[in-house]
Structure 1
Amino acid sequence: MAPAPALAHPTVAIVGGGWAGLACALQLAQAGYRPVVFESAPEAGGRARSALIEGLYRDNGQHLMLAGCKSLTTLFKLAGIQVQTVPFIMQSGARRLRVPAHSGRLGLATALWRAQGFSWNERYRLIAAIVNLQLKGWQVPEGQSVAEWLLATRQPPALIREFWAPLALAVLNTPLADAAMRRFASVLRDSLGSGGRALAMLLPAGNLSEQIVTPLVHAIEKLGGAVRCAQRVLAIQQTTHGFELRVQGSEQPHHFDQIVLALPPWALDKMTLPACINQKALAEAFGTQPIATVYLGFEAKFRLPAPLLQIAGPTANDSRIWATDRAYCGEPGVIALSVSAAGPWCQLSHDDLAAACLNALQEVIEPLRRCLWKKTVVVRRATYAATPGATLQATDQNPLPRLYLAGDWTDAAYPATLEAAVQSGFKAAAQIMKEQG
């Protein structure tokens, strides 16, 4: 698509080059705008990009993308990005669930009913819980936690420990007793509630930056937009005709008609913003949760028995964790283990955490081939805490005329996922275009 004349469009600055900011910029650029993205880091991608690890660029975390994520699939289509579709296969000890990638709701129900290692009572309770949510329109009582929902639906303890808890932690990155069930219900609606097609995993053929982030940046620039990395916005001030941005290292201010703040709440607190945005209150309301990713390197021919393998947590008091076979993403012999939400593991050193994860993997796979290298990546503020109280009111998403907030935390229904981030970016772009008429 050739860039359209930009004279009729207002100028738009997007502060934050993560997935929300890039999605907003691409949508605007395709509509003929010339958005300018300011990113403080040396490269775009935010909390879902790649970094140099053991001599190669590897993802800074494991980000599960499913075919049921409509905003993500739309983004990839707009940018011409190709990803592979892999059937959802998970294994936890004797439990194994395989959902055909092209099956509908009936196929998913059949897969759940035939899942290996599940007792008849566990299968019944699992399916009944999903059906009950569907009948209620995926609505749950206000303030209900995931732990309370699991108790109310009489889920067996073993099923909670080996299915629900690891799944909910991976999605919400918040302890189950504190995690908002309404956010988990939205994810269940778009995955388990939408059939096998929706549950299929979307996997890039390489790292996130190479396969997705860089093509997004190129698509934006090809349409006339700009992505300026290593440019930190220090202050935003409202003027008579729009906004004035102060950028680190730039003597002159930048002037724009409209602003999109595509940043996490804790990053807003580092900037000087109009007084109507209560940065400190937002940071306190949403809180943060950590995620650790432990990379283990083996011989190239080593593979896990399933794309997603569930193993014991790093310590006896940690929840079970997921091991991902990175061979599907062009890294044969590399296993990534994701440790979600704050727990006893936070007290371990990086080396001790890697050793604990390797030991847990050895308990499941015997004999385990010799580990050639280990690397631990800990992001202390990986996501906001998805508690019932962590909600941005609709009126706060547009705190000033022509100023909008975007980011995974601004979505009242979804948790901190790439789907929520992209969805929020599209929403901000739609608001800008709607105001112009």
Structure 2
Amino acid sequence: MILALLVLGKSLGIATNQAETHPKLTWTRYQSKGSGSTVNGEIVLDSNWRWTHHSGTNCYDGNTWSTSLCPDPTTCSNNCDLDGADYPGTYGISTSGNSLKLGFVTHGSYSTNIGSRVYLLKDTKSYEMFKLKNKEFTFTVDDSKLPCGLNGALYFVAMDEDGGVSKNSINKAGAQYGTGYCDAQCPHDMKFINGEANVLDWKPQSNDENSGNGRYGACCTEMDIWEANSMATAYTPHVCTVTGLRRCEGTECGDTDNDQRYNGICDKDGCDFNSYRLGDKSFFGVGKTVDSSKPVTVVTQFVTSNGQDSGTLSEIRRKYVQGGKVIENSKVNVAGITAGNSVTDTFCNEQKKAFGDNNDFEKKGGFGALSKQLVAGMVLVLSLWDDHSVNMLWLDSTYPTNAAAGALGTERGACATSSGKPSDVESQSPDATVTFSDIKFGPIDSTY
């Protein structure tokens, strides 16, 4: 075993203490309405959750790096390997046919795991790349077991198909071991970016015993199809001024802590459509028009200017299917915003103005920038997480919490501003789960 690990040296490699067996997940690709074919896919756990070690000695333990194995980025990458995952036993992840279930708190043999993030694979070593323009993406979700403060998320990010292997010779693990993550928040908590350990200036997070932040962030365009719990939901495009993954440093990361949120290369706020925030408080939730106590099918359509794949993205539409009927998305009911029910550049501009928000979406390129990234393709991400920054209040409560009572755009859900603290959610709702199933992809109006 030790010899096998040493042979893989001079790169971020793979270890085999735990066999890496990707859970199977089927989905359906439609050619036209009523004409679909089953795709035999797999899922893979993100590298950040994996045991990272050198011949059994931890490279990363708790929320700190080993000073002996990881004194600098290159040495760390050369020393360390990513191990396989016990998906159900360690991470609370299971699949059955076309269904994926993510558990929240999982007590494994060696540690307690909180949440997870997985990607859809095309084959053992490649992510499935979805080209969304002039297409629709449909899935069914059960959020009934997600309380305030949790987020069962399904979204797309501009990761590399192979996890970054072809661009970064130091990365030998690749998509097979869930490498290459990025998003529009330019996360600094990624342990490896472009295969290189993010050890420089690493600071453990004070309120998260498993996470820290390094000097670099991992930025890329992000399309949030579904961020939700049983109380609230939103869908949100975020654009960046670069295509694909960019390892950021300094101002280009747009770090909020450094008061540079709008100076970076990505639009961190995005342009969200949250029915509650946009004036319809009876649309989504337990017992509401879209009843979150039951599974619901979510349809998202990426409409182009000419109705062809060659057109520019012009609109993102949303429909729901529940109880055998199609439910159109709620209409905006806010002064100063046209009473539509979809996301467009016009909607985004009106919303930002009405709410007094910084229109970084427009500054970073809006639909034109997103359209360009959709041509290149994006990777499907499915996750369950709690929020150590602001307790998920931006999704399901009143945020910012110091806003004037009733200020437009601040009421995003009915959860209390005291809710969502990770320590509370983890202790009070450890058995929370989200289930995603019946993923479908095809031409507009073909999958429901």
Range into which the TM-score falls when normalised by the shorter chain: under 0.3
TM-score by length of 2: 0.23
Structure with greater strand share of residues: 2
Structure with greater helix share of residues: 1
TM-score by length of 1: 0.23
